[in-house]
């Protein structure tokens, strides 16, 4: 661990985020024993995290505490957070390209570091901003980083990693959400350009984005082989932001409905091979779902802890609410479920970074995460009484925000279908 950490410390890319944390003292502590309190005592026994992971998390936590959480209430009320400002802060510190290649401005670390970042982003006092960050770092850019040309990376990927450009992902449509194969947006080749017509729905970062990673039909072939991913600048003629969608939760994240009226894009803007868009999109779902689980884990931890503190102070029938057995037993049950999910996440991540297909485990984790966070929020909100029904406390905000977990990125029912496929229990056609 010490050798790996010192190697990482010496790299110019690790220095992007070490300026926010006492890395010099941390490095000294690593080279001597015992490890000081800056690093949790469980570091050496952690399944996937090393001291580098915890240094990364500590650095990000300082940015969250200083640059984000003090303003969350304001951004929630305004229905938008300043994506360019926040992404530039995060990009300059290296947090938008943790597992992206060094030559593209990333840190070149493995996916376990992205999971660590996702967990830490759960300390933001809302769900909308972490979701928007996740779209930028782990949804709109992975295919570009893996399959894009050097020219596309220079124009779109590097500025996104550095926080100079805001990205959005254009996959879902009014009639095509979890069923990605049924999208209708078309990109018709005319000479050296595509002419794009159609529209996208539920586009996170849509009103502020500089470019979109667009999935469109580029031929009339089979639905799994006729789609391509295209880098589409959002300032082109024919791109129309129809509306900013008013949502149940995720208020601080702008979500747009976008229409394309014969938008012309150079054919060179295709990511990788034409017709491989569906495959590229499916490949990144493992990471996307693990990222979502990691993010919601911290939210559940925080909700349970805040509920413990509140019920310890609030009294009913002359004793703290927490002292009632039904309350502290229930909180114990919920924390147990959270820990079980954490173990699944870390096991799946450990297998994934070794090159294994963890689609089944990632789908299980996503399914359980979406259902468990609903259970945690609902149970804890109950113990807040009337305060839980206001917008003044974190539990009520996350009650709204985290409901999306069972819908976005593949609904619960889709996860069940994937799991059944791997279990070979689906009815045969």
Dihedrals φ, ψ of 270, to 5°?
-70, 135
Rounded alpha-carbon distances, angstroms, from residue 32 to 22, 28, 44, 420? 16, 7, 14, 50
Q: Measured on CA atoms in the order 6, 12, 17, 19, is the torsion positive or negative?
A: positive
Helix (H, G, I), strand (E, B) or coil at 404: helix
Question: CA 16 to CA 199: how far, in whole Å?
Answer: 38
What stretches of 64-171 show up as alpha helix (H) in DSSP?
72-78, 83-92, 111-121, 128-138, 142-147, 150-152, 158-162
Helix (H, G, I), strand (E, B) or coil at 187: strand
Question: Which own/partner pairs from 239-242 qualify as long-range (CB within 8 Å, at least 24 positions apart)?
Answer: 239/263, 241/206, 241/207, 242/199
Dihedrals φ, ψ of 195, to 5°?
-105, 115
Q: Measured on CA atoms in the order 274, 276, 277, 280, is the torsion positive or negative?
A: negative
Q: In the numeric block, which tokens belong to residue 364?
A: 């299980």
Compute CA 263 distance to the chain's CA centroid, rounded to the nearest angstrom: 29
Compute CA 422 distance to the chain's CA centroid, rounded to the nearest angstrom: 25
Question: CA 315 to CA 283: how far, in whole Å?
Answer: 51
Whether 58 is catalytic: no
Rounded alpha-carbon distances, angstroms, from residue 291 to 110, 285, 352? 13, 10, 12
Q: Are strands 167-170 and 211-217 parallel, antiparallel or unpaired?
A: parallel
Question: CA 172 to CA 255: how far, in whole Å?
Answer: 12
Q: Exactly one of 155, 288, 333, 337 is catalytic; which is it?
A: 288
Q: Which residues are catalytic?
A: 288
């Amino acid at each position: 661990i010490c050798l790996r950490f010192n190697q990482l410390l010496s790299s110019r890319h690790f220095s992007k985020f070490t300026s926010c944390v006492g890395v010099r003292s941390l490095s000294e502590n690593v080279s001597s024993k015992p490890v000081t309190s800056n690093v949790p005592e469980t570091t050496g026994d952690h399944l996937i995290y090393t001291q580098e992971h915890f240094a990364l998390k500590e650095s990000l936590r300082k940015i969250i505490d200083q640059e984000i959480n003090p303003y969350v209430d304001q951004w929630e009320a305004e229905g938008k957070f300043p994506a360019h400002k926040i992404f530039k802060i995060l990009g300059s510190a290296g947090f938008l390209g943790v597992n992206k290649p060094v030559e593209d401005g990333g840190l070149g670390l493995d996916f376990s570091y992205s999971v660590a970042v996702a967990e830490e982003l759960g300390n933001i006092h809302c769900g909308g901003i972490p979701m928007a960050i996740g779209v930028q770092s782990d949804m709109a850019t992975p295919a570009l980083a893996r399959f894009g040309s050097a020219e596309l990376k220079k124009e779109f990927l590097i500025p996104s990693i550095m926080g100079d450009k805001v990205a959005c992902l254009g996959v879902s449509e009014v009639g095509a959400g979890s069923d990605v194969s049924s999208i209708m947006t078309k990109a018709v080749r005319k000479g050296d350009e595509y002419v794009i017509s159609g529209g996208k729905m539920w586009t996170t970062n849509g009103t502020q984005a500089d470019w979109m990673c667009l999935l469109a039909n580029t031929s009339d072939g089979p639905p799994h082989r006729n789609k391509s991913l295209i880098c589409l600048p959002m300032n082109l003629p024919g791109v129309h932001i129809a509306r900013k969608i008013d949502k149940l939760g995720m208020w601080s994240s702008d979500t747009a409905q976008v229409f394309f009226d014969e938008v012309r894009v150079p054919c060179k803007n295709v990511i990788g091979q034409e017709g491989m868009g569906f495959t590229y999109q499916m490949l990144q779902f493992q990471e996307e779902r693990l990222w979502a689980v990691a993010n919601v884990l911290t939210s559940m931890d925080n909700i349970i802890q805040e509920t413990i503190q509140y019920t310890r102070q609030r009294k009913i029938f002359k004793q703290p609410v927490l002292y009632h057995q039904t309350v502290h037993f229930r909180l114990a049950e919920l924390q147990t479920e959270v820990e079980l999910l954490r173990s699944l996440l870390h096991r799946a991540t450990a297998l994934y970074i070794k090159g294994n297909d963890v689609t089944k485990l990632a789908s299980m984790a996503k399914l359980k995460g979406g259902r468990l966070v609903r259970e945690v929020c609902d149970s804890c909100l109950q113990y807040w009484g009337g305060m839980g029904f206001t917008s003044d406390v974190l539990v009520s905000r996350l009650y709204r925000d985290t409901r999306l977990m069972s819908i976005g990125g593949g609904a619960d029912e889709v996860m069940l279908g994937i799991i059944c496929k791997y279990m070979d229990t689906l009815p045969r056609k």
